[in-house]
Chains A and B, each alone.
Chain A
Amino acid sequence: MRVAIYGKGGIGKSTVSANLTAALSVRGLKVLQIGCDPKHDSTRLLLNGRDPPTVMEYIRSTSKGERDLSDVIVQGYGGSLCVEAGGPEPGVGCAGRGILSTFDLLEELGVDSLDADVTLYDVLGDVVCGGFAVPLRNDYAQKVMVVTSGEFMSIYAANNILRGVRNYDPRRMGGIIFNSRGDDEERERVRAFAEAVGLPVVAEIPRSTLFLEAERTGATVVELFPDDPLSSRFHDLANTVLDGEVHEARPLGDEELERIVLGKASAPRAEAGGMRVENGSLRPRTPPVYTSRNVDRHEVLHGCAFTGAVVTCMSVEGLHTVMHSPDSCAHLSCQMAQNAARRAFLKEGVSIPSFLEPRVHCSSMDDPAMVFGGTPLLEAALRRALAECSHVAMVTSCPSGIIGDDVISLAQRMEAEHEGSKVITMVEDGNVAGDHMQGVIDACVALADSLITEHPPRNDLINVVGIKPIATNNERNMRYLESVLSMMGMGLNCRFIGGTDIDSIEGFKKASLSILANTDRFAQMLASFLEDEHGARFLRSPLSAGMAGTEAWIRELALHGGTQDADKVIEGLRHEYQEALGPLRNDMEGRSVCIISMHKDIDWLIDLIDDLGMELRRAYVVDRSDHLMDYHVGNRHESRLMFLQDYVMEDVVRSCVQESPDILLSTYPVDAGLDIVQERIPMVPDIGHLAPLELARHWALALRAPLREGWRVDHDG
């Protein structure tokens, strides 16, 4: 028999539990009592007032291979077996997680082998998170008793416990144990509540000084006053626990509860909102200003802000990144960055030092950290980082946020202790702040706010903003940009942020102008932020693939600061473009094409198709929440594009197939059969006047290949 005794903190459930265990034990039953309350005093009265070791302390202090069940079980009155889960100090860590870990450990160490006749869980009931609900799970308590007094908050907690039981197997309620506080009217309130929820009051424990007397000697009433009528109440309760019926949990609604227990109509609800809890105190809520699409539209979050922020920080040379997380978060984030770096190195021979030599530290939050709080581990990681570097970014994961580690105070203390250091704190709390892109935006904002300093602006320098840190063509694109800038008598100042260093971010304001790396929301958000907060000025035209886009930003740049004649530069580029285009046009002219793009900015692609003399039969631009663009980009070729918000991909593909194009261009391969050549639209297109022609060159070659290559015969799917 497994029984859970739930009740509001301080209501006397430990006293009831210990006396019940004593009553069961004296009749020769083997009783295991497990205290599930961080204050670990459930079994004290069975142990002559002694505190048993807690399971959580044991987990913290004893390595896995050395653990033994006998170390956490103490024998108490009447041969009862006593276990205390324990937990963190108030205000830190996660006590619920402590309960989870305790149950896991007891199971792992073979608690079932004890063959207890009765297992009694004494559980704090006004904490309603999942951890404290573990004893309610179907594997554990077969019967649930609720201890309550007649005070409203106690009955309120009892009602919440019924709600918890209803979420599992609801037919397990053993009844209500009324622990009287001596208030005249409380019996009626408990009776009314019990009647309303359809449960019997299985015991009434009167207020008595005998409890105090027994407690002073560290014993139960059952032990110290075995013949007193008060002890009989517990013996009767023991009978009910063993033999009583079970009932269904049928909790009341809040209004109904107030009406029945307090006998009053419910008060109108206070207007909520405008505040949020931060570090334990309410602060005015500031809606996020620079948001990703997923966050802005409350969509499914793709990836997590933690990884976005970590990857962005990792891309800054000279910055160490501390991840306050379990190892898994660190691994997933570092893999994302390092895989990109490996591909860039092995395929393109480009070395990205910040990713290939990552300067990262992880607090490696483990089970004890989840229970007792993770700041000691974080402090150790921060100290490791600060020993090597004066600039440290610190990013928090979901577990840190869920257990509420006070990372901000710690970061401030670390800064104060390490003269000249800077700890840039990003409280992303995993995906609590948002998706991957939100993390990238947040990191860019935090790094800019922490690092950018005043400098006299120069007209011959330009920043590029909105670089995607893990795109493998960054280096190639930047080389192109620098080559064009040098033709204009200008130089590249800061790459914000990707393949850059701390000095470069600090010197952001050395350039009087900035240009966007592309047109997506991420870049737009950064532009808004840098304009709003740091007075940055941007060219209207972003960097782009293709001749027209390249020409646009070069002309604009010339107006703002370029020292060379734009016409001359453009003429040179256009000549190169035409030279390269000629032979390709011979191959591609008259060929038909359909497009299914997730990119909304595909003017450069349509330009290319036109320049090659190809026939565009259909061009769909499909919206997706896991893609970066969420706005209308003002395409020059808008009338030739079909924008689809809600669609079935199979229908879109079928529509293209019906057009029988020579080539189908899509962001990802689609199931279009084998009669059409499929080519990819790159996720992050190369910039520059010649970049699209590289794609066209591949199209031309693909058209010369057989439609059905031999290997397809052997492919089983």
Chain B
Amino acid sequence: MMDETRPDGLVGALMAFEGVKGSITALNGPTGCKYYPASLSEAMTRRGGFNPMMHDSRFYLGQSRIPCTYMDLNDYVAGGRARMEELWQDCQTRSPSLLALINSPGASLIGEVLEFEGGVPPTAMMESPPPSVTFSEGYESAILAVLGALRPLDASPEPMTVNLLGMSIADLGWEDSLADLRSLLEVCGIRVLAAPGAGCSVAELKDSGRAALNVMVHDERCQRTAEWYRINHGIPCHRPSGGAPLGFGPLTEWLEGICSLLGADPGPGLVSIKEARRRAAREISRLDRYQGLPRGTSFSVSGSPSLVLPIVKTLHGYLGMVPLAVATSEDGPCTEQLESYLGDIGCGEASTDVLDCPADVVIADGNTAAMVLARGLADNAVDIEAPSMVQVNIRSDPLLGIGGTQRLLDRCLQGLRR
């Protein structure tokens, strides 16, 4: 993905706020900062899109999410406090579970204050979202603002409970991924209390202080969050070394790590994984016998490091595919492991430009994948980050877990030919 087009910290922060169920995110800024993030939020939470005939109210401007103060030149000069206060009052009347107030870069530059006296819902604020930082940095700052505003319960830990950290409604199939991981943990007797940023309710977030363990899902997004829980609630954190739970190997490692720390029996979960592995092996074996596939086919991949690492490991180690281009959208704890893995398998010199590298399959966000297809550089594409290449998901379509692994394998293998 090109640097210029990747989602940045402002989008990360807005999506983190939007990831609290029943919340309202009020943006103090121009409409130019509102339309796309609101549209992304609508799309990722499966709400209707832009419709000025239905969403006609003053601050929403045709959308159902992220009301804004439509700042203009006059506000930059004279300050936009008065309209922000009106928006704040409008939000109060809508009884959100959480009110998130955030300045746009311009509003932050002129020092707009977001504090208001009174108000019923708990309020999280970001007056100075740092400009030009990564999605993860913005996301995590907003998550911390939410946790600071909600103050999770300070109770003794409940055994066999976890919080899943680093998930976002901006992730493709986030709801299905969460359900997949939740059910895998549940069969092992482990309950997920909260997944901050991924559609959690305020009650779940408050409850998150009782978790026995925090588990990183996308580790580039939750280092500070894990530390916050450790300091404020004494909750230890598990960072699986294989990145996000995607691919049979990384998923198994992820589950075993959690179970070992909690003293749970991973057996039932491993049985589910084994069943899925058997089914996958049957399909792959057909391809192998008839076409000698997928061994020796190639792929290019672009995404966040916690996704790219397990994908590379799975496609290379499990399917026998070869990475020709590997790009990460930011640095994270998995970056070093990824580089080391690529070096170990003799692919240390792989290209970092998926847009300029022919491969059998491209795995990336929907726009990058479409670009690669349009350039004729690949025959097959798998979208792993927003925007999606499809509009409708009737079937469960998780990105992570057993279902996510099956999706990745299905989509990669589907278009292979020799």
Q: Does B374 contact A (CB under 8 A)?
A: yes
Q: Does A402 contact B (CB under 8 A)?
A: yes
Q: Does B269 contact A (CB under 8 A)?
A: no
Place the interface of chain B in its size category.
Answer: 35 or more
Q: Are A335 and B5 touching (Cβ within 8 A)?
A: yes
Known: A137-B113, A301-B70, A370-B131. A670 touches B30 (CB 8 A): no
Of A303, A360, A367, A627, which is within 8 A of B5 by CB? Answer: A360
Cβ–Cβ < 8 Å partners of B33 in chain A? 304, 328, 332
CB contacts under 8 Å to A, within B24-75, are 30-33, 35-37, 50-54, 56, 61-62, 70-73
Report Cα–Cα, A397/B2, bound state, in Å.
Answer: 20
Report Cα–Cα, A668/B355, bound state, in Å.
Answer: 36
Of A330, A360, A399, which is within 8 A of B106 by CB? Answer: A399
Of A351, A356, A366, which is within 8 A of B132 by CB? Answer: A366
Report Cα–Cα, A168/B104, bound state, in Å.
Answer: 21
How far, in Å, is B416 (CB) from chain A's closest CB?
Answer: 20
CB contacts under 8 Å to B, within A610-638, are 624, 626-627
Report Cα–Cα, A339/B53, bound state, in Å.
Answer: 23
Q: Are A399 and B131 touching (Cβ within 8 A)?
A: yes
Report Cα–Cα, A306/B36, bound state, in Å.
Answer: 14
Q: Are A129 and B110 touching (Cβ within 8 A)?
A: yes
Q: Are B371 and A356 touching (Cβ within 8 A)?
A: yes
Q: Are A402 and B36 touching (Cβ within 8 A)?
A: no
Cβ–Cβ < 8 Å partners of A272 in chain B? none
Q: Are A131 and B111 touching (Cβ within 8 A)?
A: yes
Q: Are A328 and B105 touching (Cβ within 8 A)?
A: yes
Cβ–Cβ < 8 Å partners of A327 in chain B? 3-4, 6, 8-9, 131-133
Q: Are B62 and A626 touching (Cβ within 8 A)?
A: yes
Q: Are B32 and A430 touching (Cβ within 8 A)?
A: yes
Cβ–Cβ < 8 Å partners of A667 in chain B? 53
Cβ–Cβ < 8 Å partners of B3 in chain A? 327, 362, 364
CB contacts under 8 Å to B, within A356-404, are 356-358, 360-362, 364-367, 369-370, 397-399, 401-403
How far, in Å, is A134 (CB) from chain B's closest CB?
Answer: 6
Report Cα–Cα, A345/B371, bound state, in Å.
Answer: 9
Q: Are A430 and B30 touching (Cβ within 8 A)?
A: yes
Q: Are A100 and B128 touching (Cβ within 8 A)?
A: yes
How far, in Å, is A470 (CB) from chain B's closest CB?
Answer: 12
Q: Does A331 contact B (CB under 8 A)?
A: yes
Q: Does B130 contact A (CB under 8 A)?
A: yes
Known: A133-B111, A304-B32, A367-B130. A399 touches B5 (CB 8 A): no
Nearest A residue to B370, CB-CB: A342
How far, in Å, is B266 (CB) from chain A's closest CB?
Answer: 35
Q: Are A669 and B8 touching (Cβ within 8 A)?
A: no
Q: Are B73 and A303 touching (Cβ within 8 A)?
A: no
Q: Does B76 contact A (CB under 8 A)?
A: yes
Q: Interface 1/0s, chain A 657-676, versus B by CB < 8 A?
A: 00000000011111100000
Q: Does B357 contact A (CB under 8 A)?
A: no
Cβ–Cβ < 8 Å partners of A99 in chain B? 111
How far, in Å, is A555 (CB) from chain B's closest CB?
Answer: 36
How far, in Å, is A346 (CB) from chain B's closest CB?
Answer: 6
Known: A130-B110, A360-B4. A338 touches B32 (CB 8 A): no
How far, in Å, is A56 (CB) from chain B's closest CB?
Answer: 14
Report Cα–Cα, A402/B133, bound state, in Å.
Answer: 20
Q: Are B111 and A666 touching (Cβ within 8 A)?
A: no
Of A131, A306, A338, A435, which is within 8 A of B367 by CB? Answer: A338
Cβ–Cβ < 8 Å partners of B4 in chain A? 323, 327, 330-331, 334, 358, 360-362
Q: Are A398 and B76 touching (Cβ within 8 A)?
A: yes
Q: Does B112 contact A (CB under 8 A)?
A: yes
Q: Are B56 and A649 touching (Cβ within 8 A)?
A: yes
Known: A301-B31, A331-B11, A370-B131. A345 touches B370 (CB 8 A): yes
How far, in Å, is B103 (CB) from chain A's closest CB?
Answer: 10
Cβ–Cβ < 8 Å partners of B32 in chain A? 301, 303-304, 306-307, 329, 332, 430-431, 436
Q: Are B367 and A649 touching (Cβ within 8 A)?
A: no
Q: Does B234 contact A (CB under 8 A)?
A: no
How far, in Å, is A165 (CB) from chain B's closest CB?
Answer: 13
Q: Does A569 contact B (CB under 8 A)?
A: no
Q: Does B281 contact A (CB under 8 A)?
A: no
9 A-B pairs with CB atoms under 8 Å apart are A130-B113, A304-B30, A331-B11, A332-B35, A364-B3, A365-B132, A402-B106, A624-B52, A670-B53
A residues lining the B interface (CB < 8 Å): 94, 96-97, 99-101, 104, 129-134, 137-139, 167-168, 300-304, 306-307, 323, 326-332, 334-336, 338-339, 341-342, 345-346, 351, 356-358, 360-362, 364-367, 369-370, 397-399, 401-403, 430-432, 435-436, 596, 598, 624, 626-627, 649, 666-671
Task: List 6 extra interface pairs beyond A100-B127, A327-B132, CB under 8 A.
Answer: A96-B110, A301-B32, A330-B4, A341-B374, A370-B131, A431-B31
